[in-house]
Amino acid sequence: MKTILYINNIKFKHIVAFLTIVFLSCGQIEYQINDIETEIIKISEHTAKNKELEDLIRPYKNELTRLEKKIGYSNESLSIRDGKLESTLGNLIADILLEESNKLFIEKYSINIDFCLLNQGGVRGNLYKGDITQHNLLTIMPFENTSTVVRLNGKKVLELLQYLNVENKAHPTSGIKIEFGEEKINKVLIQNKKFDINKSYYVLTSNFLQEGGDKMIFFKDPLELYSLNTNIREVLVKYISRKKNIESKLDNRIIRKK
Amino acid sequence: MKRRYFLEKITSSTIFGLSIPFLSFDNINFHSKKITILHTNDVHSHIDPFPPNDPLNPNGGGVIARAKIINKFRKENPNTLMFDAGDIFQGTPYFNFFGGEIELKLMSKLGYNASTLGNHEFDNGIKKLSESLKYANFSFINSNYNLKNTPLENKVKKYEIYNIDEIKVGVFGLGIALNGLVEKNLYNGLEYLDPIEITNDITYELKKDHKCDIVICLSHLGFKYDQRKEEMCDLILAKKTKNIDLIIGGHTHTFMKKPVEVTNLVGEKVLINQVGCFGINIGKIDFYLSNENMSRKTDSIKV
């Protein structure tokens, strides 16, 4: 698309320019912006060739080929942006992380984790239909974040719910169902039980968010803090390698009724 | 396409009309000038094009395709500058495995003149970032991070001025507050300074002291935040400052259809442009300048 923002009558200007030359002796030259023309170009020529750049990229690319090994399979392409307050890829990631971390948590502490909240910004790519590779997963979750469990009092969980209400984004969640109204929070189920502000909850997240990342300040200063020290991406890699076939769908876990 | 033809026709016919009869005035160079600015933001280590089965951008982006377009534009106008608005790093295994080396080497080959610092540049820590800068033959510009006594001290420029075909282009850079975006221990010692105050100082210096004809801000502040209206962003920056002609933005991965025009503190127009992310798009801004005191910039006639 090309947009022309300012256009003057250039012919008129040049007549004036000529007169200026005639009547003024040569002084300090100062330039002024007259017109600006803009264009945003989509880069799509994937068949373009450039030997110099290809030679530069090759050794790096070759080292990454070991990441191309198939670890699983997906019948559909999954995205972090295919729903309003949830997404197929976000649901998959949060569900896997909660299931796997809960096993570990029970084993270590004999406590059940109530729910999981991650951030949409932590998921950077799509899962492609067909073979799943480690390369693909590294693109989806490039960060070296580890899973962390916090025990929050009911008031902090309410802050969390209010944050989700205001953010209005598809942050990945699992173990929690929320119905927002136009502006307020209508209904919240945690592990299929009504949210109780007088109770405390065990919430699974990443170390990045626990430290206040993405302005999730309710995770700071929890009642209890457990670092599981497992890389979130590695949890996914192990799970997919074991299960082979991956599926996910939107299930209205977080909705807004207007 | 018609619009483009229209403008080119006018420009070439008037240059023709002017230069033939008044050849003797060539020494005072009374022609109009054209400076092209190319820009990207938030490329996030995307070196290869997207695969053909990507649901949103099949075969899109890719550094080699980008190089081809850049070369074409440079051929059309050698008076071209190329900038990035930050978040070069993080997003593909190229970064996880090689820490930004290949991204910076490729940008150097592509002829980037400068980039500003995005928050993800700090993902491996300020020390590793500082070490990786040896792979870049272009400048890093940031004006609102106090980097004294950090590994980045003296490696990042406050601003840069390009003299290109008699036109002075002043470029400065603004980074986002890293608190809440980057773990504290990854940017130890870095102090975030208020972008508005810094901008008014620097743009004054660039426009009035150094007589820059064009002032560009490379910003990683983000275009705007709908849920947090008070948060510093390019829209607020543009409204509350003066002497900026163009803000090249990033961080919010905003795919604009065309640049956004904003009226600044003193009623002048500022352009904000941002081209999404992952090297899917490239932005091109052509500035047409002349040395007559006839600018009617604020009239803004849209064609």
Question: What domain range includes position A164?
Answer: 70-256
Q: Which of A32, A43, A140 to mutate to test the interface with B (most CBs of B within 10 A)?
A: A43
Residues A107 and A200 reside in one and the same domain: yes
Residues A227 and A101 reside in one and the same domain: yes
Q: A8 and B256: CB-CB below 8 Å? A: no
Distance from CA of A166 to the nearest CA of B (A): 7
Tokens of B82: 């190329």
The CATH number of residue A153's host domain is: 3.90.780.10
Tokens of B58: 């099949």
User: Is the confidence at residue B282, as pLDDT, over 90?
Assistant: yes
List the helix and strand counts (H, then E) for chain A: 7, 14
Q: A143 and B167: CB-CB below 8 Å? A: no
Residues A94 and A214 reside in one and the same domain: yes
Note the pLDDT of residue B153. Answer: 97
Q: How confident is the model at residue B216 (pLDDT cuts 50, 70, 90)?
A: very high
Residues of B in contact with A163 (CB under 8 A): none
Tokens of B100: 């930004």
Q: A14 and B17: CB-CB below 8 Å? A: yes
Q: A5 and B183: CB-CB below 8 Å? A: no
Distance from CA of B268 to the nearest CA of A (A): 12
Compute the average pLDDT of residues B166-176: 97
More confident: A92 or B11: A92
Q: B3 and A54: CB-CB below 8 Å? A: no
Could you tell me if residue A51 is inside a domain?
no
Q: A79 and B181: CB-CB below 8 Å? A: no
Residues A219 and A115 reside in one and the same domain: yes
User: Is the confidence at residue B24, as pLDDT, over 50?
Assistant: no
Residues of A in contact with B279 (CB under 8 A): 43
How do beta strands A146-153 and A173-174 pair? Answer: unpaired
More confident: B40 or B22: B40
Residues A184 and A223 reside in one and the same domain: yes
Q: A38 and B259: CB-CB below 8 Å? A: yes
Give the closest of A130, A135, A167 to B53, CB-based. A130
Q: A49 and B64: CB-CB below 8 Å? A: yes
pLDDT per residue as tens digits for the range A108-121 = 999 999 999 999 99
Residues A33 and A82 reside in one and the same domain: no
ipTM value for the complex: 0.85
Q: A31 and B290: CB-CB below 8 Å? A: yes
Distance of CA A235 to the CA centre of its chain: 18
Of A138-147, B118-127, B148-157, the least confident:
A138-147
Residues A112 and A223 reside in one and the same domain: yes
Residues of A in contact with B66 (CB under 8 A): 43
Give the closest of B256, B295, B302 to A32, CB-based. B295
Q: B289 and A142: CB-CB below 8 Å? A: no
Could you tell me if residue A147 is inside a domain?
yes
Give the closest of A13, A41, A61 to B294, CB-based. A13
Beta bridge partners of A246: A74
B277 closest CA partner among B302, B300, B255: B255
Q: A126 and B167: CB-CB below 8 Å? A: no
Please provide the average confidence, as pLDDT, over all residues in chain B.
88
Q: A77 and B53: CB-CB below 8 Å? A: yes
User: Is the confidence at residue B8, as pLDDT, over 60?
Assistant: no
Q: Which of B263, B282, B294 to mutate to test the interface with A (most CBs of A within 10 A)?
A: B294
Nearest CA in chain B to A133: B93
Distance from CA of B224 to the nearest CA of A (A): 14
Distance of CA A140 to the CA centre of its chain: 9
Note the pLDDT of residue A2. Answer: 58
Provide the domain count of chain A. 2
Nearest CA in chain B to A77: B55
The SS3 assignment for A240 reads: helix
Residues of A in contact with B275 (CB under 8 A): 40
Tokens of B225: 């935040």
Residues A120 and A12 reside in one and the same domain: no
Nearest CA in chain B to A139: B92
User: Is the confidence at residue B226, as pLDDT, over 50?
Assistant: yes
Give the domain ranges of chain B: 1-31, 35-295
Cα–Cα distance, A96 to A102 (Å, whole number):
10
pLDDT per residue as tens digits for the range A51-70 = 999 999 999 999 999 999 99
More confident: B295 or A92: A92
Q: A6 and B180: CB-CB below 8 Å? A: no
What DSSP line would sit under chain A, residue for residue? -EEE-----HHHHHHHHHHHHHHS-------EEEEEEEEEEE---TT---HHHHHHHHHHHHHHGGGGSEEEEESS-B-SSSSSS--HHHHHHHHHHHHHHHHHHHHHHS----EEE--GGG--SPBPSEEEEHHHHHHH--S--EEEEEEEEHHHHHHHHHHHHHH-S---EESEEEEE-SSSEEEEEETTEE--TTSEEEEEEEHHHHTTGGG-GGGSS-SEEEEEEEEHHHHHHHHHHHH-EE------SEEE--
Amino acid at B151: P
Reported pTM: 0.84
Q: Is B56 left (phi over 0), alpha (psi -120 to 50) or beta?
A: alpha
Q: B96 and A215: CB-CB below 8 Å? A: no
Residues A32 and A147 reside in one and the same domain: no
Compute the average pLDDT of residues B174-192: 95
User: Is the confidence at residue B295, as pLDDT, over 80?
Assistant: no
Residues A145 and A248 reside in one and the same domain: yes
The percent of residues above 70 in pLDDT, for chain B, comes to: 86
B110 closest CA partner among B130, B84, B129: B84
Say which residue the tokens 């300020």 belong to.
B126
How do beta strands A70-74 and A130-133 pair? Answer: antiparallel
Residues A19 and A108 reside in one and the same domain: no
The percent of residues above 90 in pLDDT, for chain A, comes to: 84
Give the closest of A44, A56, A138 to B96, CB-based. A138
Rounded to a whole number of angstroms, the CA Rg of chain A reads 27
Architecture in CATH for domain B35-295: 4-Layer Sandwich (3.60)
Could you tell me if residue A25 is inside a domain?
yes
Q: Which of A22, A35, A218 to mutate to test the interface with B (most CBs of B within 10 A)?
A: A35
Residues A19 and A80 reside in one and the same domain: no
Interface A–B counts its CB contacts (< 8 A) at 241
Residues of A in contact with B222 (CB under 8 A): none
